[in-house]
Every structure is written in structure tokens, then in C-alpha cells.
Amino acid sequence: MTIEQTLAGKTKEALQTLYGVELDKIAFEKTNPDFEGDFTLVVFPFLKVSKKKPEETATEIGTYLKENTSEIASFNVVKGFLNLVISDSYWLNYFKNINGKSLIDATLPSDAPTVMVEYSSPNTNKPLHLGHVRNNLLGYSVSEILKAAGNNVVKVNLVNDRGIHICKSMLAWQKWGNGETPASSGLKGDHLVGKYYVEFDKHFKQEIESLVNQGKTKEEAEKQASLMLEIQEMLRKWESGDKATRELWEMMNGWVYTGFESTYKMLGVDFDKTYYESNTYLLGKDLIEFGLSKGVFKRRADNSVFIDLTEDGLDEKTLLRGDGTSVYMTQDLGTATKRAEEINFSKLIYTVGNEQDYHFKVLFLILNKLGYEWAKGLYHLSYGMVELPNGKMKSREGTVVDADELMQEMIATAAKTTKELGKAEGLSEDEANQLYANIGLGALKYFMLKVDPKKKMLFNPEESIDFNGNTAPFIQFNYVRIKALLRKAKDGLDNFNDIDVFTHNVNLLKKEKELIIKLYQFNGVLQQAANEYNPALIANYTYELAKEYSQYYHDTPILKESEKDLILFRLHLSKTIGIALKSSMGLLGITMPEKM
RNA sequence: GGUUCCAUAGCUCAGCUGGAUAGAGCAACUGCCUUCUAAGCAGUAGGUCUUUGGUUCGAAUCCAAAUGGGAUCACCA
């Protein structure tokens, strides 16, 4: 039972005894820092039943609670606010129980629900950019959070490895590539393929322009352009399994996968299972018959199949073309069904940008209409776009921030700053490089994850991502200071692990109590982050913990304290906070250095 | 145009299911390293929470409208 639950129960009792009413909705909140207390009860809602002034009501309830709850040391009343002070011994006892332990219980219960998280889902025609970075970090972090909250998580990637856009890169390479390979050019595979995607677009635009100059409309030109006809032909060949086309496709996709692999590794993300659209794009056609037989889908005169969603405030959605080929939606219907057959998930989370809100609304609605029980567990983790100062990123216009370049820049900046501060001294080259990566990538990850996923975010390439203030390096810095303290303590104190300290009566400093309360809050934050699929809550929590510790560290002697019991207590407190910081940052995919 | 999301300090963002004087960081200005790591700490300044109505004892938070901005509305993915 949490302390809040205890307080709520006692308050219910108080209202019963004092005013003879039974109320269920009783919530305590953190006391505003400007007032004395740990938890606050707002008594305005009870005035109707108490029929007394706010102050009087609060005092009556406070008196009852103080007399009947051993955890409450004292209370005070300000207007309609009843502030309760919880006794130091309660907090000290709580701390004793978590001392030296991780706040995350890593063992999963045997009946843990399975949650499938899909994220990343790249196209194989171009390298990853900043938008993908947000997607990957979010998907990975949400997976870690769900695991920590007691779920069995399956991370999956659905690679979009086929289609007209892939043919663009292939055709351009064939025409203008001169046999260039990653080995011959020294280019990373995904960047090489992306180069030809851009190349195609350049030539295509030129062709359109000349056709328009010959008097055609833009639409006609786009349909009649020889390049357009060629990639369409290429796609047909691919679909019919033409050997040469398939070989080219496999070779170029192979380059891309090698490239992606290193980007993923650098980002620190991974997957339990990878699906390829080339294997799933034909799925969903069986579903059409099923839907038709259930009367959920309908057939038009031209033989195309659709679902009428106008009653749900949406439009008609085509699911099968007149020629019998499927569309994106059909594919997603089929893939979802396949996954449900393979794995008995309680939830399936799609980490996809909010530009596809409509698509997922329709997808989920259709699956529910088809009567699948598991469809109730589908969730679109819809995140906002990453925007540049001049608007949205557009790959074809070259206004993208490349993921690999960005990461390299972050690491280089971290290296420069670390050297300037003289903090790389005494490290081997490997250690130093590891440190730069931890700091640079930590800063990047924290920067992207501290923002509410639902909201769009701005990235200004002109301003480098900060290393001061509300950032990962600040949190890492506080962790490192703790580690340094513990190293020194080990040299000077032979019985650091002496737990006897807790049998003594330690008088908690105000900040010490606040830190323990902060640790206490972790579980609630984790639960909320898991329920809302929101890593930003973890990021903000971790920053607050680090910030409070930083103040504590600054103001309070730890090793320099003269009383040994206090030294031990403060070291234990520091150590536990260090563990909390590390595991919390781990949920964001951020690694803590030992020294910096 | 239909649907939908958003609007908080100069900038980037917090503000939990309505609660006390709206908070951080950056940028600006002041102090503080012979003292456990100054990527730090403390302080000053900066706000009509886009606007107008409504609900309520109480609204940045809930409802409605207006204004501004984004997304989406393919037999594309």
C-alpha cells in the first residue's frame, strides 16, 4: 500500500466519522514547495457536506488524520488546503527498503502480457534522417518503458523494401551509376542508394520540364515521361519475378541493409523481428473475401472492393483495385492479421508519424468491424513531425538532416567540449571515444525524447544541441560525481556497506527528504509513462532528480561530514540516486559514463 | 471546403485526470572554484497562458466560437 492510499483511506474514514458521508474520490497531491508539507488535500469539495468554512473543515480533517495515522507528523492549514507532513521515520524506513536497489523490477511475471511494438519501418531507397531518428528513439524507449512496467515486449521492424520508389533508385543506378558500389566509392550503402534516388528525381524533373515546354500539361507530362514509364515497367518486372530485376534489387537493398545496420548500432536500437514488405505485400487478399462474406466490404461494378465508413464520419475506402491488386491498406490489414496469428499480443503499438492518423483510424476501424477481438489492442503511437526553422523536412528538396551526419557531429562536439574542459585526461583512446559517444548521443537522445511525443518539435541545425541545463550531459555529470564519491569512499571507509547506520536516528535535511520523496515517485512516473507511451515523463523526472541532487551535492558535505553515520547515510543516498539515474536514463537508451 | 491536431517568457519546452503567487533550460545581466568533478550552484530581469464568451467556490487546464498555424481528405506508400 502506498502512502497516498493510506492517506486516502484515512481521509475517507474521517469524512465518515465527522460528517457521516461516504466519498470515494479522494486524491492527494504534492504540496506546493512554498508551503510546509509533503501531501496536500484540497478540502473545497467537502464544504458541502461539512457545512463549515474551509479553514475549519481542513482543521477538523487534519486533526482526525493526525490522531489516527502514525505516518503523519504534523499538519497545517492554509485557506482550503490541508498540508500534511509525513514523519522522517516513515521516509527513512522507505529509503532503507530501496537502498542500493534499482527502482525497476527486471523480473517479469510469468503471466506478463505481450506487447508488440513496431517502429523504425524505413524505406530502402534513402538513408535515415532526423525524422527517423525520432521514430527510432521513441519506439525503442517506449519498448524499454513497457518492459520495465512489466510487459513482455516484442520489438518489430517492417521494412518497406519494394515499390515504385525503390525502382527509382534502381533505374537511376542502372542508367547513370557506371557500376558504382559502396566499395568503389567509399560511400555508405544507404547513402549511395539515396544518391541515385535524388538523381532520378533530378532527371525526371528535367524531362517533365521539357515536355511542358513542348506544350503538355504538367499532369500529362508526369504520366507520359519516359522515366515514369520505365520505372512502372521495372515494377511490373519485379512483381513478375524477373531475374535480372530481382538481382539488382537484392544487391542494392543489400547495400542499404549494411548501411542501416551501422546506423541502428550507433543509435543503440534493435529489433526482435524484422518483416519485409516484399514478403507481406500480397497479404490481406484473403481478408477481402472474408469481409465480403460478412457483408462488411462491398464490391463495385468495376469489380473493386471498398468499405463504406461514412457512418463513422469517414469516407469510402478502397481495399482492392478493379484489376484485383491490393493497396497499402489491404497490406496493413493482412500484416496485422498475420501478426495476431503468430503472436498472442494484448497490444500492438504502431510507432508512426501523425501524418498517418487517418490511415490508422481506418485500419483499426476495419479490423474491429471484421470482429477481431485482438483489434481492441491496436494503438497508433502518433508522434509529431520534426521541423526545421523553415518548415518540414523534404528529402527530395535536400532539406533533410541526415541521421549519420548528425550523430557524427554530436560526437565531435562532445569530444571538443570534453577536451576544452580538460575532462579527457587519463583516459585511453578507446575510453575517450566511448565517452564522447555517450555524451554526444546522450545529448541527442535526451533532446528528442524530452519533448512530448504527440507534439511536433523544432530542430535548428544552426544551433548545436546544448550540453548544459536540462540535458543528458548534466544528468550524466551528476551521475559521474556520485561515482567519484563512491570510489573515494571505498578508499577511506572500510565498512561502507555497514547498514547499521539506519538503526541510528538520522535527522533528515529538507533536501534529503525531498530526494527520498523523489525516488518514491519513480514508480508512479514509470506507470504513467507506460500508460501514455510517453518517454518525456521519464526524461523530465530524471532531470528533476539530477537537479535536486546537484543542489544537495553543492550544499551538503558528504565525505567531508565529520559524523560517520551521516557520511554513510549520505553515501547510501547518493549511491541509490546514482542507480536511479542510470536505470532511468537506460529507459531512454542513454548510457552513463563512469567518469567525465 | 470536410475531418483533425496545435497555440504558455525573446527562443526551446514542462505544467499529471480543474486547485495556493504559472515553472525549467537557453540567451542577457550579477555573484561563487586554495573546499567531495564549476558540463555546477545562487541571484536579477523576462508572462493579459492567442482572443472572446461559458461551466465552477476556483480555469493555462473543461465546453463553445473566433483568429493564426500544421496534418490529412488516392483504385500512392
pLDDT tens profile A188-208: 999 999 999 999 999 999 999
Q: Answer yes or no: is A53 within a domain.
A: yes
A535 CA, B49 C1': Å apart: 25
Nearest CA-CA partner of A82 in A47, A50, A48, A40: A40
Q: Are residues A172 and A80 in the same domain?
A: no
Which nucleotide C1' is nearest A48 CA?
B57
Q: What nucleotide is nearest A454 when CA is compared to C1'?
A: B5
A132 inside domain: no
- Listed residue (A493, A475, A508) closest to A559, CA to CA: A493
List the A87 CA – B40 C1' distance (angstroms): 32
CB A456 within 8 Å of CB A385: yes
Nearest nt to the CA of A359 via C1' is B72
Q: Which residue is nearest to nucleotide B16 (CA to C1')?
A: A528
CA of A468 to C1' of B73 (A): 44
Note the pLDDT tens digit of each residue in A526-579.
Answer: 999 999 999 999 999 999 999 999 999 999 999 998 888 888 899 999 999 999
**CA A483 – C1' B22 distance (Å)?**
36
Q: What is the mean pLDDT of residues A409-413?
A: 96
End-of-domain residue from the set A51, A86, A121: A86
Q: How far is CA A189 from CA A12, A79, A184, in A?
A: 65, 67, 11
Q: Which domain holds residue A11?
A: 3-86
pLDDT of residue A450: 96
User: Cell numbers of A129, please?
Assistant: 534522417
Residue A492 pLDDT: 56
Identity (one letter) of the amino acid at A401?
Answer: V
A48 CA → B53 C1’, Å: 29
Shared-domain flag, residues A79 and A204 = no
Handedness of CA A506, A511, A517, A521 (dihedral sign): negative
* Domain-embedded: residue A76: yes
For A70-79, how does the pLDDT look when each residue is reduced to its tens digit (9 = 90+)? 999 999 999 8
Closest residue, by C-alpha, to the C1' of B14: A540
Same-domain check for residues A461 and A557: yes
Same domain, A82 and A168: no
Boundary residue ending a domain (A278, A299, A315)? A278
What pLDDT, on a 0 to 100 scale, did the predictor assign at position A325?
87
Give the nearest nucleotide to A451, CA to C1'.
B13
Give a yes or no: residue A128 inside a domain: no
pLDDT at A394: 75
Task: Please name the residue whose C-alpha is nearest to the C1' of nucleotide B40.
Answer: A550
Mean pLDDT of chain A: 93
> H or E stretch including A103?
none
Amino acid of residue A210? S
**Which of A92-106, A246-260, A303-317, A491-505 is predicted with the least confidence, judged by mean pLDDT?**
A491-505
> How long is the CA A555 to C1' B43 vector, in angstroms?
16
Residue whose CA lies closest to nucleotide B71 C1': A355
- Please give the radius of gyration of chain A, using alpha carbons only, rounded to the nearest integer: 30
User: What tens digit of pLDDT does each residue of A363-398 get?
Assistant: 999 999 999 999 999 999 999 999 998 877 876 666
> Residue A426's pLDDT band (boundaries 50, 70, 90)?
confident
A410 burial class (0-12, 13-18, 19+ CB within 10 angstroms)? buried
Task: Say if residue A199 is in the same domain as residue A80.
Answer: no
Query: Nearest CA to A271 among A351, A335, A330?
Result: A351
What Å value separates CA A556 and C1' B39?
Answer: 20
Three-state DSSP class for residue A159: strand
* Element spanning A391, H or E: strand A391-392
User: ipTM score of the complex?
Assistant: 0.96
Q: What pLDDT does residue A495 have?
A: 57
A67, with CB counted inside 10 A (0-12, 13-18, 19+), is exposed
Residue with nearest Cα to nucleotide B17 C1': A27
Both A451 and A542 in one domain: the answer is: yes
What CATH code is carried by the domain that includes residue A65?
A: 3.30.1360.70
Gap from A458 CA to B50 C1', in Å? Answer: 20
Nucleotides of B under 7 A from a protein CB: 3-6, 11-17, 19-21, 24-27, 35-42, 57-58, 70-77
Q: How many domains does chain A have?
A: 3
* Distance in Å, residue A457 CA to nucleotide B7 C1': 14
Pairing of strands A378-383, A386-388: unpaired
CATH number, domain with residue A517: 1.10.730.10
Residues A567 and A455 grouped into a single domain: yes
Nearest nucleic acid nucleotide to A315, CA to C1' distance? B73
Q: Please indicate, yes or no, if residue A467 is contained in any of the structural domains.
A: yes
Q: Where are the alpha helices (DSSP H) in A509-534?
A: 510-532
Residue A391 lies in a domain: no
Q: How far is the CA of A135 from the C1' of B74 (A)?
A: 26
Strand partners, A379: A349
Lookup: nucleotide whose C1' is closest to A81 CA: B20
Amino acid at A438: N
Q: Which nucleotide comes closest to A532 if you measure CA to C1'? A: B16
Which whole number is the average pLDDT over A254-277?
97
Question: Which backbone phi and psi does A527 adopt, to 5 degrees?
Answer: -60, -45
pLDDT per residue as tens digits for the range A482-520: 999 999 887 655 555 555 555 566 789 999 999 999 999
d(CA A38, CA A209) in angstroms, rounded, equals: 70
Q: With H, G, I as helix, E, B as strand and everything else as coil, classify residue A134.
A: helix
Give the neighbor-by-neighbor strand order of the sheet with A305-308: A298-299, A305-308, A316-320
DSSP secondary structure code for residue A125 in this structure: T
How many Å is the maximal CA-CA distance in chain A? 93
Distance A297 CA to B6 C1' (A): 35
- The answer to whether position A390 is within a domain reads no
CB atoms within 10 A of CB A521: 15
Residue showing cell 489492442: A377
Asked whether residue A575 falls in the same domain as residue A438, the answer is yes
**Percent of chain A with pLDDT strictly greater than 70:** 97
Classify burial at A276, counting beta carbons within 10 Å of its beta carbon; exposed 0-12, middle 13-18, buried 19 or more: middle
Does A247 or A315 have the greater pLDDT score? A247
Q: Which nucleotide is nearest to A306 (CA to C1')?
A: B75
Give dist(CA A150, CA A140) in Å, integer.
16
Assign residue A57 a region (left: φ > 0; alpha: ψ between -120 and 50; beta: otherwise).
alpha
* A60, containing H or E segment: helix A54-68
Decide which of A389 and A317 is more confident.
A317
Identify whether residues A81 and A204 lie together within a single domain.
no
Closest nucleotide over all strands to A37 (CA to C1'): B20
- A579 shares a domain with A487: yes
Q: CA(A548)–C1'(B41) in Å? A: 11
User: Nearest to residue A438, comparing CAs of A591, A265, A579?
Assistant: A591
Out of A86, A110, A135, a domain closes at A86
Regarding whether A198 and A81 lie in a shared domain, the answer is: no
The Cα-based distances of A568 to A194, A477, A575, A577, A582 in angstroms read 58, 22, 10, 14, 21
Residue A457 lies in a domain: yes
**Pair A60, A180 in one domain:** no
